[in-house]
Amino acid sequence: MNIAVVGLNHKTADVELREKLAFNGPKLEEGLLSIKAIPGIKEAAILSTCNRVEIYLNVADLQQAFASLKDFLVQFFDLKRDSLDTALYLHEDMMAVKHIFRVASSLDSMVLGEPQILGQLKDAFDFALEKKATGALLNRLLKKSISVAKRVRTETRIASSAVSISFAAVELAKKIFTDLSGKSFMLLGAGEMAELAAKHMMNNGVREIAVANRTFERGCELAHEFNGKAIKFEEFPDKLVDTDILICSTGAPAYVLLKEHMQKAMKARKQKPVFLIDISVPRNIDPAINDMDNVYLYNVDDLNDVVDTNKQERQKEAEKAEAIVEEEIETFKKWLSTLDSVPAVVALREKAEAIRKEELERFLNRFPGLGEKERKAIEGLSSAIMNKLIHGPTIALKDDGEDKDIMIAVIKRLYGLNGEDDEKK
């Protein structure tokens, strides 16, 4: 058996090619079953995301499977063959294992430490299981990959710091207020980044939200999404008195929140701290506001600085994660090596069982008068003796010692496995 990964990702293929190779909708089932039907492919699972398309395989012959799979992809997606020449990669055996562990742990992701890939891998595994496309080897490998990823997230801080502008805004707010629950929040403008920031705020305890947008209808839509309230744009300065956190992203060409607005609001707030984030370019909040006491104003560059610092922190944590991956590869390798002895263990048990049944039948035929109770007792005794006799050699076969191959050969010879007895006869 050979483990292989065939695929492409954001490092080897542009988005145009990744789009063409996406196994989405009905193509996922059709593709998976077609790949499983390729001669020499014993097991298969497909991971298809916006940043990668990878096929995990257990194959008889690696190079033959790679060539067959490439032919299949060209035909299935109606591609030019040379479009895959530099984009498609093949990882074999333990390098394939390492790759899957790293993918699951988000060490191979575009954003280091991102959480989505683990859920996507679980979905890919569940789908392959449902379609009976995987067997003992890939089942074990994919389960192990998921457990490795969980260990990485538990034992490192690779995913703990914000690497998006919107989430960095939440981190900064927490530094000022510590606890965001009960804080009031205003969204000034309804841009995509502001919306993302609002979602993060709500997920971190903010309960009261107001949306002020130049297009009132759009503001109403967004307010409804967050169970908040829409206010008319020209009324937002009056609402500052009740606002603890404000995120501004209006797209206006000039300042919309002026220092006099904030001076009036702070007087009414009795100098209670307020946190302002201006993610507009050009900026929409007068930077002079930052000189006021108890007003904390950050712009998009400030947030980028936070993100850059956090990315460096994640990179340091990635080194710890890589060490965990290497450790888990050794564990998987040991499990893999036990598969070498499985045929010998099975043959030993089958031979012992055949002898037991043969001798038991002969004995019972000599004593036809035995009752059912006695016959069952004797049968149980024969099974117990057989199990005790083969227990030692079975343990020896499963042991992952350096002399494993010698041990397998010796036990086969001693117990006449692989037809040695027949040859002598």
Report yes or no: 422 and 357 within 8 Å, Cβ to Cβ. no
Phi, psi values for residue 214, rounded to 5°: -60, -35
Task: Kindly give, in sequence order, each residue whose CB lies less than 8 Å from that of residue 23, ignoring residues fewer than 6 positions away.
Answer: 31, 32, 46, 48, 53
Query: Angle 210-213-217 (CA atoms, 0-180°, nearest 5)?
Result: 95
Measure the CA–CA gap between 43 and 36, rounded to whole angstroms.
Answer: 6
Q: What's the token pair of residue 27?
A: 């193509």
Which candidate, 184, 225, 220, 217, places its Cα nearest to that of 201?
A: 184
Interhelix angle 26-36/62-76, rounded to 10 degrees, is: 150
Task: Kindly give, in sequence order, each residue whose CB lies less than 8 Å from that of residue 188, ignoring residues fewer than 6 positions away.
Answer: 194, 212, 236, 246, 247, 248, 249, 250, 256, 257, 284
Residue listed under structure tokens 């501004």: 248
- The letter for the amino acid at 252 is A
Q: What's the token pair of residue 1?
A: 């058996």
Active site residue 50: yes
Measure the CA–CA gap between 352 and 416, rounded to whole angstroms.
Answer: 11
Measure the CA–CA gap between 41 and 231, rounded to whole angstroms.
Answer: 61
Catalytic residue, chosen from 50, 136, 385, 406, is: 50
**Euclidean distance between the first and the last CA atom of the chain, given in angstroms as a whole number:** 34
Catalytic residues, by residue number, are 50
